[in-house]
A and B are shown apart, each in its own frame.
Chain A
Amino acid sequence: MAALAKKQEATAARLAEMAVPSGGQWITEAREAALARVKGMGLPERRDEYWKFTRPDTLVQSEVAEAATFETGEAPLFDEIERLKVVFVDGVFDAAQSDDLSAEGLVIERLQDVAGADIHWAKDLYGKLELKGQDPVQRPLAALNTAFASDGLVIHVTGKVSKPVNLIYKHAETSSDAILHHVIKLDAGAELTVLENGPAAARFNKVMEVDVADGAAFHHVRAQGRDHERRAVTHIFGRLGTESVFKSFTLTVNGRLTRNEAVLELTGDDAVAHVAGACLGDGDFHHDDTVFVTHDALNCESRQVFKKVLRNGAVGVFQGKILVKPGAQKTDGYQISQSLLLDEDSQFLAKPELEIYADDVACSHGSTSGAIDEDALFYLRARGVPKDIATDLLVMSFVAEAVDEIESETLKDSVLARLEGWLERRRD
């Protein structure tokens, strides 16, 4: 207990530097509860089992390590997609750069506005899925976010929305420290696609809580990229109702440190949850995918597909779990995490876990780490494809299974073009 007491003491000292934003009664209650949670758990330390492969120091400490902004010269991702743009600059909503937030089938509000009200429907969601996601594994940085976030979106989806909502995160200040908290509620049968892209800030802490009611569908495609020195910790908490669908894909390139947690709970029968990611890391790059999928209903399907391409000392981490609760029969769970190590300096650390308390389920998992396939490389070269282009083709081939998790062909093409651009810039 001495260790915990020490941790709590350090956490209290760190949190004393921060101020819980003021707001109406409902959000103040939620924030105070979250603050108490963080204080109780303590902020993550290197000794923590859940942070064994990723050093939390820079995500936790007072000083924000500076991060320069970086221009690739490419058109912004999703630019060619018809979408509703919502822009945040260093974690602050920018109305001038954003579209009009009113649209058919959904109500978009700003957390800051909603927080001023004494009562709002968001009280049933804000910090609630995060709280649920604290058990059995603690996620203190998510609770920290709930306590201190002052901006973000509160979205209520009532119908089938065809135009995606695109959250664009711009990074302007070299030492910006941004916290955003989004809450998304999909009514029964509703549909929404959320796109996210941009480097966001020098340090970024983001939580997204998504409640997908019966028969609703939520699609999420995200690209975290560009700025080489940025750091980010993100959490997505999802609750899935009967026959609902939740599909999330993340592309990560560049960035010194990224930890993406996805915590999904299948609470209604016949629900489908897919979470996938592809990352390309070159040099000073540490990418961590931590996923926890809980099956708590009949006949649900979940897939975790993660592919990491690493070179020049880049590090990839995967901690993925499928928990099948008692009675969650006919569960179909799949988990694959693979890395392609382009040199001997790079490393991949994986901790795949299955915990199953039902006897009629099909769960499979696999984790591999390997170099480029020399036979395939020779085959391509023997056809006249130069080595660098052949290698890139094989990299694209490697990440294909993860990118294929994106249902929309248009979005898939955008992501693939972005991957190709990244590879091309690195050719000799």
Chain B
Amino acid sequence: MLEIKGLKVKLENEDKQILKGVDLKVEAGKVHAIMGPNGSGKSTLSYVLSGKDGYEVTDGAATLDGEDLLEMEAEERAALGLFLAFQYPVEIPGVGNMTFLRTAVNAQRKARGEEELSAADFLKEVRAKAKTLKIDADMLKRPVNVGFSGGEKKRNEILQMAMLAPKMCILDETDSGLDVDAMKLVSEGVNALRDEGRGFLVITHYQRLLDHIKPDVVHIMADGRIIKTGGPELALEVEKNGYADILAEVA
């Protein structure tokens, strides 16, 4: 599904190499986790894949179902089925959450040559999905993320993910800023979306999120590279001993 080969990325306005050759393959139906110390390039990887400006790919490739992601605009990648759950969801005053969601859903459908959802069908679907995430009518009406708590923002991300039904979901530190209950709720939302046709890439600092969202594969990233790959036990090892041992091992 998602295939990254030898991806090298530097900042556009600065001579700073951030990704130094990332290789990664996420298969449909699998959950991959990326862990790693601060500054290892995890968030950069998620931004580059989803098409944020400010980065320059100097080498390598990234494809989704064989299509070259790096040549596409952010909205084209989204329409192809790539979704990034933001670490810091952006507040947009003056744009209703519902309007935003409907605009996004229909823009993607249009880009794929599908018929747009009617207002009634959209409303029905969004209400049902919001309910399972404990998102009330008021949150749907309010401007996008404005005045939302940390937990509400992350739940709103998952609601968007559920409505857009992407093929490949990247979750960038979705656990940051969440208390235990909120993490559980968000994880349940993610788990409900696990499907054999869908891949997940979960970026996190901590093992605890992976207690709720059980990964199939765990990668350790450091200094712009994947330095170790293993099963869920790798996350437990990090939790117990930190990154020092692994870093020393590969050095």
Contact = CB atoms under 8 A, between A and B. Distances in A.
Interface string B131-147: 00000000000010000
Contact of A381 (B75, B83, B92, B95): B75
Interface stretch (B101-109, B118-126, B241-249): B101-109
Interface in A334-376: 373-376
Contacts of A383: 78, 100, 104, 107, 160, 164
Given A378-B53, A382-B74, A400 B93 contact: yes
B51 interface: yes
A380 interface: yes
A386 B94 contact: no
A393 B83 CA distance: 20
Given A374-B53, A379-B89, A385 B94 contact: no
Nearest to A404: B94
Contacts of A380: 92, 100, 104
Contacts of A399: 94
Contacts of A400: 93-95
B86 A379 contact: yes
Interface in A377-398: 378-387, 389-390, 393-394, 396-398
B111 interface: yes
A66 interface: no
A398 B92 CA distance: 9
A401 interface: yes
Given A378-B52, A378-B53, A378-B74, A385 B103 contact: yes
Which 10 residue pairs across A and B have the least CB separation, nearest first? A400-B94, A397-B94, A384-B78, A384-B108, A381-B74, A383-B104, A379-B90, A381-B75, A397-B95, A384-B107
B53 A382 contact: no
B205 to A, nearest CB: 22
Interface string B57-94: 00000000000000001110111000110100111111
Contacts, number: 82
A381 B73 CA distance: 8
A384 B86 contact: no
A386 B95 contact: no
A401 B93 CA distance: 9
Contacts of A375: 90
B50 interface: yes
Given A393-B95, A396-B95, A397-B95, A384 B104 contact: yes
Interface string A59-96: 00000000000000000000000000000000000000
Contacts of A396: 94-95
A63 B53 CA distance: 50
A60 B143 CA distance: 45
A259 to B, nearest CB: 27
A394 B160 CA distance: 19
Contacts of A385: 75, 103-104, 107
A384 B75 contact: yes
